[in-house]
Structure 1
């Protein structure tokens, strides 16, 4: 497959990724303004809480996956503040409660109903903040006023909670202990109602009797529902003694902070590109790739004959051999070929086997060689004995020079001459 073909495929994937990013932008791009996010510095964010907890010597980690993937070996409390109600469905609620039942703790902080509150059979309703001005005639006469919607919106004023009472109940729903937290300062925005409160192990009640939080034992674990996120948020955690509320629920434990509920999901590249209902796009891209490969490797049309090959000339072989022997890495091969040729020539002249070694030739051939040829032979043997174990370039050159000189003398003497003719 040509390089250009690969570039076309990569270009198609890049275009798809860009279009996907435009249509479905990364939710982390606006996570810094999402209520309840641990990286948000907005009044309704929780950046202050995220920075405070490590300073207390406790661990603070974020978790951005579905509840079904919560680590069962964790010792941290799973905390979710103002999660988007659409993020958690009934399946997520079952997974979260299953996580609790296996011995873990969850603190669920929300001011709206969602799948978790539905599973616990509790309801979050707006608290009654409506009050009339002190100079109202009906109020002066002690009558119960009937306030219209428009008037209510003008006269509504959130009630400020200064203290709460922690009411613990036993298995028979009887009160077993009461604890009061004072010095608080947060607006009463919602209350917790519903049949599920009857099974609560602890309820958090304001002075006016409004339930703003409850703790439920579920299996081996516990889940807390708190309806006033302000005490966890940047705008309220540092006000008065509001930190008492989170401290009471978390009991000096490490935190696993929910970011999945704020629209952030940790996922791989495949899930990012082709997940969430986009699996069909992957099939289309694969089909397009197969079609392209088939089209690029298959020719449609009239059959054409094979092209004529350019005729080769004899000199090409000569140039190829010359380049072969000029390579430094093939110097040994050149020496071996020349060595074998000289031994064969000498063996043929004196009637010894062609496989005879130099030691045999020293005994049989050297005494009968003519003077000039004997000198060349002796020079070669001297160089060979001195540089036989040397692999340097200069040693190889000396051996080749001596061998070539011996071969030249053999050619001058005449390979076909016998020893008797020389004598």
Structure 2
């Protein structure tokens, strides 16, 4: 394991806490090592905008919606996983961490105590399967309660410092270039998918495309996630291990016995005119093509969730979710967890592993559609459309599907790879589907404005 000189992590003064800093040892990257962690959570006065607290640091994790959530930095422990069991392996590792940790939690809310943030690949065969990271410092707010958690690995100690965080570094002179395929090539791939669907190989195939964005200066994930959060407050704005975005789709939320999931499938671009948008929303709600696509996704989710729950509420008719740039057909599914054969209820990460991939990001039937994605799409999605989120001490957590996002290039801090996709069915038009991906890329393009 590589040894590095400890860095210093900073946070500005938080009411009730004062200045706080931690020494950050080199990240733990050996899957077999399970360090002993000292975890301390204390209530604090409202810290204001959580995103204003994040220092300049190589390891930043954020999870914010409507101003609540968590921001974190540093690495107390980490596991990198790959393959079909990547999420289950990470979940088991976190369970061992929890068993050996010394945890004192004065707040006792989902997200307090021991916590880890993670991001995992879409594809089982992706070279970089994903990571689960336990941070050094977490500041959170939920339902009017605020807290700070410090997590000390073996031998680490807090350091007193002066100073504040570095200013946000905004993108400069951003240019764009095609990713794995050009727009015209991607339209041909959509046509290929439509032909295969009409031939009976699948009912729905979700195809994605990527675009590279390059800034003349290094990109700051803090600036990107702050812009995402402020522009799209109803989405989950996240930054985890270099993946930054604002996703509207909750794969699974677990709080004690209750779980919830949001399915989005069927999209139309907003025009900026309220009356026209209302007419478009009504048309979306009546569109047989979009309703068919949405029904596939809801049925996929319900089937995957069924083995884990006592009961579930699955609305028969979707609503229309209005976002600043697009509108989606949306269905919110809720359920009550049952205990497994071992007497325990599955963790949020265990549930995410069972639900991924859904029809919303793979297609229907899922196994056939995902195979066809691999044959047609022509790129490695990486962690795009994979689960991203957090898991807490009691197994609670939130895992979204990584949409409306970009992956920072570890080899060049000026570059970020942007992604967007859409569900292809028999009635799909390649030009319209390309337009839909452009609409879904808009949040990332706006965040990259200088």
TM-score when scaled to structure 1?
A: 0.26
